[in-house]
Chain A
Amino acid sequence: MRTIKEINEKIRSGEVVVVTAEEVIDLARRKGIKRAAQEIDVVTTGTFGPMCSSGAFFNIGHSKPRIKLGGGVCKLNDVPAYTGFAAVDIYLGATALPDDDPRNKVYPGEFKYGGAHVIQELVAGCDVRLEAASYGTDCYPRKKLETLINLKDLNEAVLFNIRNCYQNYNVAVNLSDKIIHTYMGTLKPNLGNANYCSAGQLSPLLKDPFYRTIGIGTKIFLGGGIGYVAWQGTQHNPGVPRSDNGVPRYPAGTLSVIGDLKQMNSQWLVGTSLLGYGASLVVGIGVPIPVLDEETLKYAALSDEDIYAQIVDYGESYPQCTPGSLGEVNYAQLKSGKITVQARQVPTGGFSSYSKALEIAEELKSWIKKGEFLLTEPVAYLPGADSGYKFKPLVERPIV
């Protein structure tokens, strides 16, 4: 029907027709898939939820005299960064915590400040305290460094998230008789609440379930700037059972994403504190789906009613890694505020902001309409549903 090259020509000439992944649902219902596919060039998706496998690389520049951080230690606002690279490259992970944070020793831990908060502050333009110590070499003699750093002065600041954008996720409940604090939020005992974490009908990989357009090299909205899909994300698991409409019913594909932190906005990279669990980074991601043919549009027009997730017990099943689902619900049911689990009405809570995901999809739409954002052809595709690529558990072996 149309190629990405043709879509880009329309973006340049201002004739492109872009709609959000929410708008396309109604358009496809009213006009039919065929006509909607003829009229719409691009569908924009969005998601805004906690993504723990996030972090950023920094090159801080060389001090005088030089110091080799590689093999040494380095902290940013007391949060340890990874130094196992060359002299002045470091990596700060979203979940890293200051050494003196009590963690869960005082349960539930509050995790008020971690790597994610440092990243948000850097993006907001705040100065951050860097303290480093190393062992000194003939070419890098310095052993200690204490300085303020600011994002604008760093050579490179690259957000590189090894796993984001989960294609679907569990609905978490608690069958036990005590309150639990998880990465899916606080779960009240005896099915007190059910928490979900997906933008559903706006979520990128749910609207391109077979990765027909989203692949390695796809240009995306990342944290308010421009980023790219770098690879399949870790734990990419495309072979899970799918509904007849092709949508995975279990957590499936994931994306690894990369982008220039200096372009980003602290509105779209938010440090969060998950009670009893840890620090995490909420990452705003928007992915454009080029309407290459009717099939692309058919998938992009799937709605919350068409997308099912599994209800999983985080009191026992999840922590013990025992398989088992308490049932399936769709995102329309989840968003209604109540679902039925084991014949009981259970109130639902979200962990991924739909309203912010919609803002992202709208923002990306406006970039494309204004001609500021051209689409890219994937340079390689993600391992697909029939690829045999799997997310395997760890098989422990005794060390002899």
Chain B
Amino acid sequence: MISKRIVLHFPHRLVDQPIVYKLVKDFDLKFNILKAYVTPQEEGLMVLELSGKKENFAKGVEYLESSGVRIQPLSQDVIRDESKCTHCGACVPICPTDALILDQRTRKVEFHSNKCIACELCVKVCPTRAMEVRF
């Protein structure tokens, strides 16, 4: 079994296609939609947690890419600007998945991108705007 959080970018021509349905039907993959919207450029954007058998996962990704969907890991899209973060901890109780936690020893805020669901709640509560989401 494999489970990954990925960001899918659907070009304009695919926005009305049942792409995710095929992931379930043809590749036996489970998905959990973390976020989905259509951008002002009419590009579809979906953040998914996708899981299933390793070989099915690879085939599903291949299907997505061959259909014209651009895929990247979620961790590449949610970034902390280390030069801006002051480790104050204002984000810690706001983060719903404990992706931002205060290390009890160093008293620094650690960002675990693998736990992040891109809810973006931290972005505006950060006093120095150190958190960036770039889909």
Our verdict on whether A and B bind, yes or no, reads yes
- Residue ranges of A at the interface with B (Cβ–Cβ < 8 Å): 48-50, 108, 110, 112, 185-186, 188, 192-195, 270-275, 280, 282, 335-337, 347-356, 358
Tell me whether A186 and B94 are in contact in the complex, defined as CB-CB below 8 angstroms, given that A110-B124, A272-B128, A350-B102 are known contacts. yes
Give the CA-CA distance A356 to B130 in the complex, in Å: 15
Alpha-carbon separation in the docked complex, A188 to B90 (Å): 12
Contact B129 A188 (CB under 8 A): no
Q: Chain A CB within 10 Å — which of B125, B127, B129 has the most?
A: B127
A353 to B88, CA, bound (A): 4
Contact B89 A358 (CB under 8 A): no
Q: Is the CB of B129 within 8 A of A112?
A: yes
- Across the A-B interface, give the 4 residue pairs with the lowest CB-CB distance, nearest first: A350-B89, A193-B93, A272-B127, A349-B93
B87 is an interface residue with CB less than 8 A from chain A: yes
**Contact B127–A280 (Cβ < 8 Å):** yes
- The reply to whether B92 and A350 form a contact with Cβ atoms under 8 Å apart is yes
Interface centre among B88, B92, B125 (most CB of A within 10 A): B88
User: Do A347 and B127 touch across chains, with their CB atoms under 8 A apart?
Assistant: no
On whether A356 and B87 interact (CB within 8 A), knowing A193-B93, A337-B102, A349-B92, the answer reads yes
Measured between C-beta atoms, what is the minimum distance from A269 to chain B in Å? 11
Q: Which residues of B contact A (CB under 8 A)?
A: 86-94, 102, 104, 106-108, 124-125, 127-129
A residues in contact with B128, CB < 8 Å:
270-273, 282
Closest B residue to A110 by beta carbon equals B124
Please indicate the chain B residues that have their CB under 8 angstroms from the CB of A194 in the complex.
Answer: 93
How far does the alpha carbon of A108 sit from the alpha carbon of B123 in the complex, in Å?
13
Chain B residues with CB below 8 A from A185, complex form: 90, 125, 127
| A-B residue pairs in contact (CB < 8 Å), sample of 7 | A49-B88, A186-B94, A194-B93, A273-B129, A335-B102, A335-B107, A350-B88
Which of A50, A193, A358 contacts B127 (CB under 8 A)? A50
On whether the beta carbons of B86 and A349 are closer than 8 Å, the reply is: no
B88 to chain A, nearest CB (A): 4
B61 to chain A minimum Cβ distance, whole angstroms, is 37
Q: What is the CB-to-nearest-CB distance from A23 to chain B, in angstroms, rounded to a whole number?
A: 15
Q: Which residues of B contact A355 (CB under 8 A)?
A: 87, 106-108
Cβ-defined partner of A353 (8 Å) among B86, B91, B104, B129? B86
Q: CB-CB < 8 A to A274: which residues of B?
A: 127
Q: How far is the CA of A143 from the CA of B106 in the complex (A)?
A: 55
Residues of B within 8 A of A347 (CB): 92-93
Q: Quick check: A192 and B93 within 8 Å, CB to CB?
A: yes
Q: Are B86 and A270 in contact (CB-based, < 8 A)? A: yes
Quick check: B89 and A349 within 8 Å, CB to CB? yes
Known: A270-B128, A272-B127, A275-B124. A354 touches B94 (CB 8 A): no
**CB of A361 to closest CB in B, whole Å:** 12
Instruction: With CB as the reference atom, state the residue of chain B lying closest to A349.
Output: B93
Q: What residues on B are CB-neighbors of A195 within 8 Å? A: 90, 93
